[in-house]
Amino acid sequence: MMFLLSVRLYFFIIFNLFFFVKCNQLSVDSFDSIINPDIIIKNCTIGELCSGTINSTSIHYYSVQYSFNPITAIRLTTNMKYNVTQNAPILVVVRQIRGVVSWTLPYAFSNGMIYSSVTRTLCVHNEVNRTRPHTSTVFIEISTSNVDLIDYFIQLDNTTEYSLETDVKQSFTISPATPVYYKFVFPSHINNIFIEVQSQDDLCAVVSVQSFDCPVYDVGEIGFRQGHYQTMSKSASFNVYSSEFTKRNEFLLVFLVKPTDADCLDYKETAIIQPAGVVDVERRKNITVILSSPSYSKYLYVTIFLTVGIYSLIYVFAFLIMCRRPDTYDRLAPDQLSLLEARTERELAEHQNNRQSLETSEGEENVIASRMNDYEREESAVEVIETSNTGFVTVNDLCTKDYEYLKQKFRIYPQTMITIAIFYSLPVIQLVLQYQINIDSIGNEDICYFNFLCARQFAMLAAFNNVFSNIGYCALGLLFFIIVYRR
């Protein structure tokens, strides 16, 4: 009995030792396969759908040769079979001669949306020579740290719809994971181009004007912190000058659909976190873009001079009326004018005598002077009424005052008006200039609330017509000030 028990214990110990050694060997092999995965080189050609299955034990390399043409571009589509239980994504690394770009599959946005397919346009400036046709090679690396097998697909295509031309409409479809960008080269006779973007649906998208450099910022939130950009639902527009791109006389126009419509709404909606496993949310937007040489430049000068001319005529007409209109004192009768002059001289003499005779404190002088002024004003009104030759009191009799007295009272008016004008105009000028500086430096044109389709740039102002439209308030306000000053 004891012998049988000893044999069983011996076999149990031997089995556990063997199992421990085997498991340890498997874990070592598994860890070693992750640290030193097998490198598998595969071939693929332009237009071919290449597929594979991968996990953490291997890395797949693709070497794809293609014929480069300056008027075309290479567009790479990557896809995978997404499984909600997988714990690691696929990493796609694309190496060109002069640059590297990468992304993950599935591609996840901050709001929880997941896309199992990503399409990118490879940057042309990563080519050895982008001005003439030649044979080039792109290297694609597929890897993952997931221990489970994952199926994937890749495909490279030549796209001829890569360059934009003036007065030629270009229509295409975009989604959050399939951005699109086009290049435009300024013709020698054009230094300013107007870009108009239209869409029939309400999905929120972003349009960005960037310099033609690599990498191209066309994926995620970082894609639109470069150059000038606008959010749009149905329309957007830009005024682009060749002087903005001194390095190259060309630029890129980048389009991307936002994962939510919050940035295009009047209020900020709460980002909806999608439940795990919901992939490829349908957010496809149809876009039409057209570039044209702006024809409003010559009309802008005509509008400026016409507006200034109209207000100049108003000034001339107002000055003619003021010059032909007799002064208030010119309408007085000779006997009234002589009495008014005599009264003025008498008041001035009395005022001087009172100032010399009064020897009181400063506070008492102010009180006495105030009372004397009130008394003089009352006496003046009585004298005007008494010296009137008519049998009744007229408005002219009541309104006639000493010129020196009116002049003293009026001195407060221009000072007050100038103070108010400075107080209200300086903040407005500061805000206009500050917003324009922010647009030029940051590139976010959403900070200005005006219709870009109607905006007309002049000098440094992106929306000169919005500023120039206020010339009427300034011109007529100044004219009113002059009229009141003369009266």
pLDDT at site 375: 44
In three-state form (DSSP H/G/I as H, E/B as E, the rest C), the secondary structure along the chain is CHHHHHHHHHHHHHHHHHHHHHHHHHHHHHHHHHHCCEEEEEECCCCCEEEEEECCCEEEEEEEEEEECCCCEEEEEEEECCCCCCCCCEEEEEECCCCEEEEEECEECCCCCEECEEEEECCHHHCCCCCCCEEEEEEEEEEECCCCCEEEEEEEEEECCCECCECCCEEEEEECCECEEEEEECCCCCCEEEEEEECCCCCCEEEEEEECCCCCCCCCHHHHCCCEEEEECCEEEEEEEHHHCCCCCEEEEEEEECCCCHHHCCCCCCCCCCCCCCECCCCCEEEEEEEECCCHHHHHHHHHHHHHHHHHHHHHHHHHHHHHCCCCHHHCCHHHHHHHHHHHHHHHHHHHHHHHHCCCCHHHHHHHHHHHHHHHHHHHHHHHHHHCCCCCCCHHHHHCCCHHHHHHHHCHHHHHHHHHHHHHHHHHHHHHHHHHHHHHHHCEHHHCCCCCCCCCCECCECCHHHHHCCHHHHHHHHHHHHHHHHC
Q: 111-115, 164-168, 282-286: which has the minimum mean pLDDT? A: 111-115
pLDDT at site 72: 80
Per the model's pLDDT, the better-predicted residue between 409 and 160 turns out to be 160
Cα–Cα distance between 83 and 106 in angstroms, integer? 10
Assign 43 a pLDDT band (cuts: 50, 70, 90). confident
Q: Average pLDDT in the 306-321 region?
A: 90
Q: Average pLDDT in the 179-183 region?
A: 90
pLDDT of residue 286 exceeding 90, the answer is yes
Q: 21-35, 232-246, 276-290, 310-324: which has the minimum mean pLDDT? A: 21-35
pLDDT at site 453: 72
pLDDT at site 255: 92
Q: Average pLDDT in the 278-303 region?
A: 82
pLDDT of residue 271 exceeding 50, the answer is no
pLDDT at site 367: 47
Tell me what the pLDDT averaged over the chain comes to: 75
Most confident among 2-11, 83-92, 361-370 (mean pLDDT): 83-92
Q: pLDDT tens-digit profile of 97-116?
A: 778 888 888 888 877 788 88
Q: Give exposure, 59-89, as e/b (b: 16+ Cβ within 10 Å).
A: bbbbebebebebebbbbbebbbebeeebeeb
Q: Give exposure, 154-171, as e/b (b: 16+ Cβ within 10 Å).
A: bbbeeeeebbbeeeeebe
pLDDT at site 361: 46
Q: 175-189, 240-254, 370-384: which has the minimum mean pLDDT? A: 370-384
Domain 163-294 has CATH 2.60.120.380: yes
Cα–Cα distance between 158 and 74 in angstroms, integer? 5
pLDDT at site 31: 45
pLDDT at site 454: 74
**Percent of the chain scoring above 90 in pLDDT:** 9
Per the model's pLDDT, the better-predicted residue between 131 and 416 turns out to be 416
Assign 384 a pLDDT band (cuts: 50, 70, 90). very low
Pick the CATH number of 37-159 from 3.40.50.150, 3.40.50.2300, 2.60.120.380, 3.90.245.10: 2.60.120.380
Assign 368 a pLDDT band (cuts: 50, 70, 90). very low
Cα–Cα distance between 207 and 228 in angstroms, integer? 8
pLDDT of residue 289 exceeding 90, the answer is yes
Burial label for 445, CB within 10 Å (0-12, 13-18, 19+), is buried
Assign 85 a pLDDT band (cuts: 50, 70, 90). low
Residues 6 or more apart whose CB falls under 8 angstroms from that of 287 comprise: 171, 172, 173, 174, 180, 197, 198, 199, 205, 255
pLDDT at site 30: 46
Q: 50-64, 121-135, 180-194, 471-485: which has the minimum mean pLDDT? A: 121-135
pLDDT of residue 373 exceeding 70, the answer is no
- For the chain, the structural domain boundaries read 1-30, 37-159, 163-294, 300-328+406-487, 330-399
